[in-house]
Amino acid sequence: MKTHSLRLRLQVIQVITIAMALIITGYGLIYLFERHVERRIGSELDTYIAQIAARLSFEPSGMPHLAGKLADPRFENIFSGLYWQINNETAGVSARSRSLWDTRMTLPNDTPGFGKVHIHYLAGPQSSSVLVHERRLLFKSPAGEQTVRVIVAIDTAELSSLSSKFSFEVAIALAILGLFLLLAGWFQVTIGLSPLALVQKSLSAVRSGTVSRIKMPMPPEVSPLVDEVNNLLSAQEKTIQKAKNRAGDLAHGFKTPLTALTTDVKRLRGKGEIEIANDIETTALAMRRQIERELNKARIRDVRTMPIIEVLPVIDRIVTTLQRTPDSESKDFQIECNQNLGVQIDKDDLTEIFGNLLENAVKHATSRIIVKGHVKNTQAIFEIEDDGEGISSSLREIAQKRGVRLDETISGSGLGLAIVGDVLEAYDKRLTLETSSLGGLKASFQLPLSTPIGP
């Protein structure tokens, strides 16, 4: 796929956008989950603080004491990850859960307000980190008022474990979602660009001559482009028609002077000026052929409406005509062409090609001319061979230039091969000159193949 491809650009943008959206979503979900877990665990820690405060009593020395055990067994398991501690600020003594064992949690050196929950992240047992909720409370006891700080803490490793498990599950879910979105994006791009594929197909049909305009219904976003293309085709047709009309006017303008020259040639011959008459006739003939060539070029520029033409009848008609000329005496024509072979080309163009090539072969052949036509892939291949002297490889390119005559002893204007080249060029084809298997010249070319006509 090319780097400037519109499809590639859209798909790259989709991949980047989807990836960024999924990454942001993943981090957002993990953050919200951690916040939710913290609030949920914080709520449990606050509940434990309330339970401890309800069971708290004091010894005469001010030592805090809990009546009974808390429901969560982790408070009784050493370094279980769940801890409580009571600091009596009045008596300067403290009590703690069995899970703390011989460890003491050190609070920040601050004086929080009474009754409010304060949250800290502190160092815990065995180099752990703990989330701490504490409340500063005032109790009445036989020894007087006691100010205590009730602390409940949980190991953050538990929070990290929950977060890691959630992150893994979220990553799997988002990966599946990402694959689905990429597949959906691919379908979206494919379906979204399908009208452009229809436009390309329609333009190919216009170019091949199947239709003259793009007539398929298009989405509103593509319709302006289609309308502009159709308008361009209309303008091109008008331009071509004007060119053809000007060429016709030019030909008509030369018709009368050429007719007058023909009359002058007859008068000169009648007066015995044979050499001058021949020179004028040769010049007039060259002018006529040049005009015909330019008319052909004006006609073959419009190649978008090409019908399907059977080749064999065209060849037979040309050969029949040439066999009546003096140059065809004692020359054998051998036609090897599929009977139902059809090509997509203007009929006059096809006649122009075979007419010029066969006329050229008749002039130079010694006794034999072969016309071949066969199919190769989607193209029709044609070859015209003769047993004449042929053309050397160094002169074949020169021979196709207009007005060039390699053999001045043979009549002609030197435009035949040039006209054939012009016609083939209009169909993106070219004439190839090679050495014939008969020893003379082989002229070959290709034309677009159509569906065979007939049974």
pLDDT digits (tens, 9 = 90+) for 150-160: 999 999 988 88
pLDDT digits (tens, 9 = 90+) for 59-96: 888 888 888 888 889 999 999 999 999 999 888 888 99
Last residue of one domain, picked from the residues 102, 126, 161: 161
Q: Please check the confidence at residue 289 and state whether its pLDDT lies above 70.
A: no
The mean pLDDT value for 425-448 works out to 85
Do 255 and 383 lie in one domain? The reply is: no
The span from the first CA to the last CA of the chain, in angstroms, equals: 43
Do 286 and 369 lie in one domain? The reply is: no
The mean pLDDT value for 127-136 works out to 92
Given a contact cutoff of 8 angstroms between Cβ atoms, the answer to whether 244 and 267 are in contact is no
Q: Please check the confidence at residue 326 and state whether its pLDDT lies above 80.
A: no
Q: Please check the confidence at residue 27 and state whether its pLDDT lies above 90.
A: yes
pLDDT digits (tens, 9 = 90+) for 370-407: 999 888 887 889 998 988 887 777 676 666 554 444 44
Q: Answer yes or no: is 167 within a domain.
A: no
Name the more confident of 400 and 261.
261
Task: Provide the residue range defining the domain that includes 329.
Answer: 308-448
Please state, rounded to an integer, the average pLDDT across all residues of the chain: 81
In a 10 Å sphere around its CB, with 0-12 CB exposed, 13-18 middle and 19+ buried, how is residue 15 labelled? middle
Question: For residue 182, which of 301, 27, 22 has the smallest C-alpha distance?
Answer: 22
Do 315 and 443 lie in one domain? The reply is: yes
Residue 17 — pLDDT band, cuts 50, 70, 90? very high
CATH number of 340's domain: 3.30.565.10
Residue 455 — pLDDT band, cuts 50, 70, 90? very low
Q: Answer yes or no: is 328 within a domain.
A: yes
pLDDT at residue 190 in the model: 85
Helices and strands counted in the chain (H then E): 8, 14
pLDDT at residue 3 in the model: 63
User: Looking at the 3D structure of the chain, how many domains does it have?
Assistant: 3
The mean pLDDT value for 217-238 works out to 81
Residue 112 — pLDDT band, cuts 50, 70, 90? confident
For residue 45, give both structure tokens. Answer: 């820690």
Q: Answer yes or no: is 423 within a domain.
A: yes
Q: Answer yes or no: is 365 within a domain.
A: yes
